[in-house]
Structure 1
Amino acid sequence: MFRLLLLLLAGLSWTGSAQAQSAQTAYAGGSPVVLTIPVTASVGGRCGFVDGALPSGSFNKDNFDQTGFSAQFDFSLNCTGPSRVAVSSSNGGLMTGAAAPTGYRNKADYQVSLLLLANNGTKAEATCAASTLASGGTCGFAGKASTTQGLQLASAAVNQPGSYVRISAPAQSTSSSVLVAGSYSDVLTITVSPAL
């Protein structure tokens, strides 16, 4: 809070040149007249991704059921205070439109890891299965980022590189069911918000 004191000036006299200025204060009834005006202001949090360093890209992997996969998508935060980042999955895993007969499946889960890095070197990180990132998912950073939703980074990250989303999956087990042949896909959406 700023406190601004204003003195009521009356009968101001000025003598001398611009280099030697003096002012006198007049008093009403022999005592000073003091006005206090409290001045308060605030600056809202600004938070987003750095232009040119957005979390974007694509990844293609043939025969992922046999070899697994891993890919990382780097991004930079531009948040003047605490922030939250959230991730949502459109399919809750890699999915194909092909029907899955008995003994087969048409959806494969995978892991999504999120790491956020602040200017002071602190970080926040967590990993969830893509199946918990679909609408209504139970992952702590699932959904759309808000002041209370998403993985929280407690410090500012102004033009800070080093954050990433990493996706990974091992070779798929065939002990219970086999993935049906087809093209599998999913879309991850990453959002950021100032945090409370």
Structure 2
Amino acid sequence: MIAIATAIGVALLPQSAAAQQTVYAAGQPGVVGGFATLPVNVTASVGGHCGFATGSAPSGSYSQPDFDVNGLNHDFSFVLDCTGPSRVAVVSTNGGLLTAGAAPSGYATLAPYTVTLNLVGSTTTANQSCAVATLTASTGTPCSFRGPVSASQGLLLNSTSVSQPGTYLRVSAPAYSGPSTLVQGSYSDTLTVTVSAAS
């Protein structure tokens, strides 16, 4: 079974504005009618945002009986809500489908699979696949979209993406053909998907 978890990073994009304020100045010498207009600089910001659309974060689980014979292929759809460029990253808990226990000689307890991210924006898309073994926190040669996500880490979608359909995370593998036989058991992994505004 493969489970999906999510987290969100947020960034604000500042803008500025100026305004004038009328100030009452009764009794002040040289002020006609008791009012004076003074310029007042006002600084404000409009918050850009980036996250998963409400109710559309990647989540769920997928179970494939006899994946060693049948392979596996499943999409976890989600929707981004980012008003500027964004990045999405993934971390695998096990680096493959793992079962408990020790493997005798000639057997294995960890099966590989592939993770694909497909991000859809208003003017562009981003797509990349990586072996799940390169998505663990401790791997020596990480995939370019291994998390945790940051403004400079993760698969870059160089476009806004507000409620665009077609974004997904795919898990896939052919029938197992590794050098060792998989031991009998229940295999699982958890993928954590994070999103952030890009720098």
Instruction: Give the TM-score of the pair, scaled to structure 1.
Output: 0.80
Q: Which runs of 5+ in 2 are unaligned?
A: 1-15, 24-29
CA distance in 2, matches of 1:168, 1:2: 50
CA distance in 2, matches of 1:166, 1:144: 18
What secondary structure, in the 3-state scheme, does the structure 1 residue paired with 2:117 have?
Answer: strand
Which stretches of structure 1, 4 residues or more, deviate above 6 A after TM superposition?
5-9
CA distance in 1, matches of 2:43, 2:190: 45
Cα deviation, residue 42, structure 1? 3.3
Task: Name the amino acid aligned to 1:108.
Answer: A
Q: Residue 149 of structure 1 corresponds to which residue in structure 2?
A: 153
Aligned partner letter, 1:101: P
For residue 11 of structure 1, the aligned residue among 2, 11, 32 is: 32
CA distance in 1, matches of 2:48, 2:113: 34
CA distance in 1, matches of 2:49, 2:20: 32
1:136-180 CA distance string (max 9 Å, x none): 341111121111111111111112222100000011115x21111
Whether 1:113 and 2:116 are equivalent positions in the alignment is yes
Structure 2 match to 1:60: 63
Specify the structure having the higher radius of gyration (Cα).
Answer: 1
Q: Residue 113 of structure 1 contacts residue 165 of structure 1 at CA under 8 Å; is this kept in 2?
A: yes
The Cα shift of 1:10 comes to 3.9
- Measured against aligned partners, the alpha-carbon deviations of 1:41-92 in whole angstroms (never above 9, x if no partner) come to 4334311111221211111111111121100010000011111111110001
Deviation of 1:133 after TM superposition, in Å, equals 0.5
Structure 1 gap ranges (5+): 14-25, 27-33
Counterpart of 2:173 in structure 1 is 169
Letter in 2 for 1:103: G
Question: Aligned with 2:45: secondary structure?
Answer: coil
Q: Percent identity?
A: 50
CA distance in 1, matches of 2:156, 2:138: 19
Report the equivalent of 2:45: 42
With the length of structure 2 as denominator, give the TM-score of the two structures.
0.79
Pairs aligned (count): 176
Q: Structure 2 CA distance, aligned partners of 1:107 and 1:125?
A: 26
Query: Structure 1 residues 44, 96: closer, same or farther in 2, change over 3 A?
Result: same
